[in-house]
């Protein structure tokens, strides 16, 4: 659905996007992540035809963004972080206006607006001026205008900004539903939202793609596994001596006593090598009673922090 090759965007001497390449398939929900100033919003603005690239190419549904920009934009629904709304218009009039701009036939407009109102939960505010709406409802109106022309590609920049927890769950479900039939690019700073919604993640930093994969793949790619182990044993030193000789154990950290002779540890080793199983066998061989054996793998937040912090990976 989307094919980006060696895309760059310069603003004078500043390189905002630097030789970026990636693909997005139809029916895929892609999380596009990056810290402020990483090039994330610039990339999305290029893909939506808002600004031209300095070099490289981008194709949407086989159409070249440079030579056929208008056709590409017809296939895209875009919700920027601050939705461009006309505050003095009522919601219903604004959606009629957007429908006309998008070239929706007059005979289909009422039905199309009705579907957007129901999907985005706008029934209670359909006759109210937009500037009287809460930030959450304004965001919903922005989402409705992005979808009203039934685009092949949806580009959503912080779509749940200003929504309450129940509304966030509803929008997540809507995004997952849309992803079954459309391509969705979702940019957000709420990393649990990406893990709950997106099938794949791109992380951009300093204008370059620094990671790509499913949330699980990225976490596993950290290369380390941490296990919390609590055992009833004769002494802390006995446990540390036994575990310190294990081939899969890289670090043993004592975390204190748990009462009744229980000693608590955090053990680190290489991921995917069976560290938890090795610890279990070590405890059994030593005659310790295990009260906790809990693996803790890196999550998306850990990966994001490592790849985008200012002092580098």
pLDDT 10s digits, 205-257: 999 999 898 877 776 665 677 899 999 999 999 999 999 877 888 889 999 88
The pLDDT score that the predictor gives to residue 133 is 92
- Asked whether residue 119 falls in the same domain as residue 39, the answer is yes
236 lies in the same domain as 199: no
15 shares its domain with 120: yes
Domain end, chosen from 191, 216, 241, is at 216
Mean pLDDT of 132-153: 91
- C-alpha 260/C-alpha 286 separation (Å) is 18
Are both 151 and 244 inside the same structural domain?
no
Task: Give per-residue pLDDT as tens, 100-131.
Answer: 999 999 999 999 999 999 988 899 999 999 99
Q: Are both 211 and 69 inside the same structural domain?
A: yes
CATH number at residue 196: 3.40.50.300
Per the domain annotation, does 311 fall within a domain? Answer: no
- pLDDT of amino acid 312: 46
Residue 220 or residue 135, greater confidence: 135
pLDDT greater than 90 at residue 64: yes
- What is the percent of the chain with per-residue pLDDT over 90, rounded to a whole number? 54
pLDDT tens, 181-191?
889 999 887 78
Q: Which of 177, 193, 216 is the last residue of a domain?
A: 216
pLDDT at 310: 58
Q: Assess whether 59 and 127 both reside in one domain.
A: yes
Q: Structural domain tally of the chain?
A: 2
163 and 48 assigned to the same domain: yes
Query: Are 179 and 45 in the same domain?
Result: yes
Per-residue pLDDT for 68 more than 70?
A: yes
CATH of the domain at 254: 3.30.70.260
**200 plus 240 within the same structural domain:** no
pLDDT digits (tens, 9 = 90+) for 284-300: 999 999 999 998 766 77
Q: Considering the domain boundaries, does residue 120 fall inside one?
A: yes
C-alpha dist (Å) from residue 282 to 32, 175, 235, 249, 263: 42, 46, 15, 11, 15
Percent of the chain with pLDDT over 70: 96
> Residue 245 falls within a domain, yes or no?
yes
Residue 229 placed within a domain: yes
The reply to whether 133 and 256 lie within a common domain is: no
Residue 141 has pLDDT above 80, yes or no: yes
Residue 308 lies in a domain: no
Asked whether residue 163 falls in the same domain as residue 272, the answer is no
- Quick one: average pLDDT of 261-268? 91
**pTM above the 0.85 mark?**
no
With a cut of 60, say whether residue 10 has pLDDT above it. yes
pLDDT(142) > 80? yes
Three-state SS letters, the chain: CEEEEEEEEEECCEEEEEEEEEEECCCCEEEEECCCCCCHHHHHHHHCCCCCCCEEEEEECCEECCCCHHHHHHCEEEECCCCCCCCCCEHHHHHHHHHHHCCCCHHHHHHHHHHHHHHCCCHHHCCCEHHHCCHHHHHHHHHHHHHCCCCCEEEEECCCCCCCHHHHHHHHHHHHHHHCCCEEEEECCCHHHHHHHCCEEEEEECCEEEEEECHHHHHHCCCEEEEEEEEECCCHHHHHHHHHCCCCCCEEEEEEEEECCEEEEEEEEECCCCHHHHHHHHHHHHCCEEEEEEEECCCHHHHHHHHHCCCCC
**Is the domain of 209 the same as that of 249?**
no
Residue 310 falls inside a structural domain: no
Residue 292 lies in a domain: yes
* Beta-strand pair 224-232/289-296: antiparallel
Which of 165, 197, 216 is where one domain is finished? Answer: 216
The pLDDT tens digits of the residues spanning 156-176 come to 988 887 778 887 888 888 888
Pick the more confident residue, 249 or 272: 249
Which residue segment(s) compose the domain that 233 sits in? 223-297
What per-residue confidence (pLDDT) applies to 124?
94
Residue 311 has pLDDT above 80, yes or no: no
Asked whether residue 121 is assigned to any structural domain, the reply reads yes
When pLDDT is averaged across residues 246-273 and rounded to a whole number, the result is 86
């Amino acid at each position: 659905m989307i094919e980006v090759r060696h895309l760059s965007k310069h603003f004078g001497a500043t390189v905002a996007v630097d030789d970026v390449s990636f693909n997005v398939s139809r029916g895929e929900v892609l999380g596009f992540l990056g810290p402020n100033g990483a090039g994330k919003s610039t990339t999305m603005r290029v893909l939506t035809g808002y600004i031209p690239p300095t070099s490289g190419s981008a194709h949407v549904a086989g159409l070249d963004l440079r030579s056929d920009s208008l056709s590409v934009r017809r296939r895209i629904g875009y919700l920027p972080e601050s939705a461009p709304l006309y505050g003095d218009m009522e919601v219903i009039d604004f959606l009629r206006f957007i429908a006309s701009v998008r070239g929706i036939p007059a005979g289909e407009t009422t039905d199309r607006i009705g579907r957007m109102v129901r999907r985005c939960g706008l029934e209670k505010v359909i006759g109210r001026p937009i500037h009287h709406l809460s930030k959450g409802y304004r965001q919903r109106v922005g989402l409705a205008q992005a979808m009203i022309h039934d685009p092949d590609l949806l580009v959503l920049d912080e779509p749940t900004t200003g929504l309450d927890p129940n509304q966030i769950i509803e929008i997540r479900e809507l995004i997952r539903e849309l992803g079954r039939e459309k391509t969705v690019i979702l940019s957000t700073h709420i990393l649990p939202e990406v893990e709950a919604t997106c099938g794949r993640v791109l992380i951009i930093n300093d204008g370059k793609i620094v990671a790509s994969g499913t949330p699980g793949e990225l976490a596993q790619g950290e290369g380390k596994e941490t296990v919390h182990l609590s055992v009833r044993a004769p002494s802390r030193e006995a446990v540390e001596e036994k575990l310190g000789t294990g081939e899969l154990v890289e670090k043993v950290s004592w975390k204190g006593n748990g009462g009744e002779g229980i000693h608590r540890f955090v053990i680190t080793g290489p991921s995917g090598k069976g560290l938890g199983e090795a610890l279990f066998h070590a405890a059994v061989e030593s005659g310790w009673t295990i009260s906790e054996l809990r693996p803790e793998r890196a999550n998306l937040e850990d990966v994001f922090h490592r790849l985008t912090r200012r002092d580098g990976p």
